[in-house]
Chains A and B, each alone.
Chain A
Amino acid sequence: MKRRFFIGAAVAAAALITTANSFAADWPKRPINLVVPYKAGGGTDAYARAISAAAEGVLDVPVVVVNKPGSGGLNGANAVVGARPDGYTMMMTSGGSFLLSTMTRETKIDPLESFDFVAQVGQLRTALMVPVNSPFKTAQDVIEAAKADPGSLRWAHSGRGGFHHVGGLGFLSMNDIKAQDVPFKGGGPTRAALIGEQADFGFLGVQQLRGFEEQIRALAVNSEDRDTIMSDVPSFGELGVPFAAVSSPVIVFAPKGTPAEVTSAMEAALSEIVAKPEFAELLAERGTGPVYASGADAKAGLAAMKSDAEPLVKDLTN
């Protein structure tokens, strides 16, 4: 009896292992759900939809974009972290915002530990912008004005704890200046406030400039090098203005424990999709574009950003 049970169990286990193996080998068989933890219509969502559209011909199955918005991106992340690691549920998110929200909010999720990194497909950068009629012509003008009268300037961003806010905080603290922040809800309202001269300057996505060149002026993008798409905007790096390297790589994550064959197959597929001209075209009208990095590089980049952001978000933790 006992023996028979043991044999049965062994057979069952063997069967399980073989199915798991063969299962990884003929991945993908079913449509892949790509969870976006934001509402449809945002910047990250645009990336996901471009991937879904350009995946045809590269992957044999459709990529279905599933929006699970809420709680600053943690809602969707919570859903994916507990999903079955079978390669049919993955998450695409704005890596910077995701990292920062796990650092400032109470959650068990750690982007570097709780997920496997598949690949990076894009990059969202924040930029220092002013209304078009502003007296500030350069980033240096802003710094000098803030030094002349500390605390008198107001700056707009799209919500505390987001990478635009933390990027702005980095700019202020690295240049040893003070200004009062005024948070708005999302990039669109922040841009509208800047156009209406409700704030002296603002930190918002560099792609927000697209189509609004007559209303706002971008003084510098918050990175070492210029943005690949909005390449007219100088970078803090080339201007010699100190800054904190906070940006938001758009990264595809898989639940921890997804078979390595599956993540590497998806990584290869993504690199192919991102290289398609169709993908770049779909993103160009939003002022964003493809920026590919392997899963390992994406993880290293996010880990570096974490150490950069740590001192800045210390006061934001709750």
Chain B
Amino acid sequence: MEIFPALLTVITDPTLILAIILAAIVGMVVGATPGLTASAAIAMLLPVTFYMSPIFALAFLYVIGKSGRYGGSVAAILFNTPGTAASAATQIDGYPLARAGKAGKAMKVATISSVIGDLMGDVMLVIGFGFIAVIALKLGPPETFAIYFAAFVVIGSVIGKSIIKGLISALLGIIVAMVGLDPISSEERYTFGSFDLSNGIGLVPLMIGVFVLGEVFAQLEARKKAKGEIKENPNDPNGYSLSFDEYRPCIPHAIRGGFIGAGIGVLPGLGSAIAAFISYGEGKRRAKNPEQWGKGALEGIAAPEAANNAVSGPSMAPLLALGIPGSTIGAILLGVFLIHGIQVGPTLFLTDKELVYQLFACGMLGIIAYGLIGYFGASQMARLILRVPSSVLYPLIFMTAFVAAYSARGSVFDVTVMVAAGFVGWLMRKYDFNVAAFVISFVLAKGAEETFRQSLLMSDGGAMIFIERPIAAAFLFIGIAAMGFRIRQIMKEQRIVKGALGDA
């Protein structure tokens, strides 16, 4: 129960509390601004944290991640554009509620459900982390590779509209990850004789480019086209407050969402968006009022919002215990640990146990912070965001992107990478390729390749090592099962489409 002394340490440090509150606000604003994601904000704020102590830096970025996931729901409900991919499911019922003048109510449900889900995830993390840390010491390259494999396959299966374009995006991410030094032989590859490229492509400039610059370019293009007025949502005098009786039917959905999110969070690579959609689907299937879902059911907000936030805590388990970044946010946090000289992985629990629990404690306080701010101030904040004209916002973001890309490593080459990535990100968006699949496969590819080749070096019987070791075999099985499940689903969908055409 190391969490209690950790909580005490954190609560008695007023500057740390201030940092957490600041992070909660930053995360909310960024999450609520369409086009900006929490991971992009974290990438841009990374250089600032170099000068903070480790716990400050980590808590700051970790809480931004949490409240950013929540902030996405504000944009989803009010503007019908998900602020982050994770809140796309919230949009289904959120926007109809807003159109019916119940935006305030919907946002309060989103806030409470996010807090419930997030806290559930964190409690499970705190309870489970000790066990995971003990097991982690026994997991070697074959097991780690199997976990990467499972993560890869499942990303592939949620790739979005076009499977081919999604796979091409993922493949592109893998190829870009290969640039630099070979992880085993330390030989240069794909560097074309360039000294700068021998260092590989940095995650931070790549992310800022793809997510921030790409988005700015896309917005520039969208501005040229005529744009419809944002419809002012009608205001229902009863639509703002929320009574307990109204929330009561949401509770089981929020709790189920919490479990779904936590379960998905432990598996690296899946992420919040998937958790939200699974929880929404599962909620609708079990709901007493499924006909209401999609037309403005409060439960339809509770289920995905609890799930997408519940991912946050448990996704720290593979990151901290095994060094496997399950998300772009995770990959950046990994860098923060390294910058501060803390080795993430099985030995983290031996060296920096206190720091780990303090981080968890900060996370919990962050949840409470964004919960309170969101419950009382989400609609005011949303109005404020609407008021900032994009002609001010986007140039500012554009400039910050350059500063952040340069200052992460003090490298001009990184700025070049960012600009190139920006164009790639813009083109990918324009032609419906999957930007998220590109970045996450970039993040996973390096570790997957390294552990795969280490395993083969360790093995006397080639690839048999993955089957001989039970944990590795289990994760490989999960991956293959997920793939099979997805293929069946696609075939079913195609049959429906064909059937529909046959009817017509």
Contact = CB atoms under 8 A, between A and B. Distances in A.
A198 B450 contact: no
A116 B411 CA distance: 26
B347 A41 contact: no
B331 to A, nearest CB: 14
Contacts of B450: 185
B475 to A, nearest CB: 16
Interface in B194-238: 195, 198-199
Nearest to B335: A39
A71 B458 CA distance: 26
B464 interface: no
Interface residues of A, number: 43
The interface size bin for chain B is 35 or more
A41 B341 contact: yes
A42 interface: yes
Nearest to A183: B184
A183 B137 contact: no
A160 B347 CA distance: 23
Nearest to B142: A198
A249 B345 CA distance: 28
B454 A188 contact: no
A212 B350 contact: yes
B323 interface: yes
Interface stretch (A54-62, A86-94, A189-197): A189-197
Contacts of A75: 195, 199
Contacts of A184: 454
A30 to B, nearest CB: 19
Interface stretch (B37-45, B185-193, B390-398): B185-193
B137 A196 contact: yes
A164 to B, nearest CB: 12
B345 A192 contact: yes
A246 B478 CA distance: 45
Given A161-B186, A183-B184, A198-B458, A212 B347 contact: yes
A181 interface: yes
B139 interface: yes
B199 A195 contact: no
Contacts of B373: none
A160 B184 contact: yes
B67 to A, nearest CB: 28
A205 to B, nearest CB: 13
Contacts of B139: 196
A67 B339 CA distance: 10
B300 interface: no
A105 B181 CA distance: 11
A75 B195 CA distance: 8
Contacts of A154: 457-458
B347 A195 contact: yes
Contact of B137 (A72, A161, A182, A192): A192
Contact of B186 (A39, A69, A160): A160
Contact of B199 (A66, A70, A152): A70
B contact face: mostly helix, strand, loop, or mixed? loop
Nearest to B343: A188
B186 A211 contact: no
B157 to A, nearest CB: 29
A78 interface: yes
Interface in A130-160: 152, 154, 159-160
Contacts of A160: 184-186
A307 interface: no
B160 interface: no
Contacts of B338: 39, 41
A72 B345 contact: no
A53 to B, nearest CB: 15
B486 interface: no
Interface string A34-53: 00000111100110000000
Contacts of B50: 40
Contacts of A40: 50, 339-341
A22 interface: no
B290 interface: no
B346 interface: yes
Contact of A198 (B140, B351, B409): B140
Contacts of A69: 409
A182 B50 CA distance: 32
B286 interface: no
Contacts of B198: 70-71, 74
A159 B109 CA distance: 51
A272 B164 CA distance: 65
Contacts of B248: none
Contact of B346 (A78, A152, A183, A192): A192
A66 B409 CA distance: 10
Contacts of A39: 338-339
Contact of A180 (B141, B323, B411, B457): B457
B345 A189 contact: yes
Contacts of A212: 347, 350
Contact of A68 (B186, B346, B410, B460): B410
Given A40-B339, A72-B181, A183-B183, A188 B140 contact: no
A114 interface: no
B342 interface: yes
A198 B186 contact: no
B1 to A, nearest CB: 23
Contacts of B457: 154, 180-182
Contacts of A45: 341
A75 B347 CA distance: 29
B195 A71 contact: yes
Contacts of B187: 318
A199 interface: yes
Contacts of B351: 211
B235 to A, nearest CB: 52
Contacts of B181: 71-72
Contacts of B454: 182-184
Contacts of B342: 41
25 contacts: A40-B340, A40-B341, A41-B338, A42-B341, A45-B341, A46-B341, A70-B198, A70-B411, A75-B195, A75-B199, A105-B188, A152-B460, A161-B186, A180-B457, A182-B141, A182-B457, A182-B458, A183-B184, A183-B454, A188-B345, A189-B345, A191-B347, A196-B137, A197-B140, A199-B458
Pick the 8 closest A-B CB pairs, nearest first.
A41-B341, A188-B343, A198-B140, A70-B199, A160-B186, A192-B346, A182-B457, A318-B187
Interface of B: 50, 137-141, 181, 183-188, 195, 198-199, 323, 338-343, 345-347, 350-351, 409-411, 450, 454, 457-458, 460
Given A183-B186, A198-B140, 15 more contacts: A40-B50, A40-B341, A41-B341, A66-B410, A67-B410, A72-B186, A160-B185, A161-B186, A188-B345, A192-B137, A195-B137, A196-B138, A196-B140, A197-B138, A215-B350
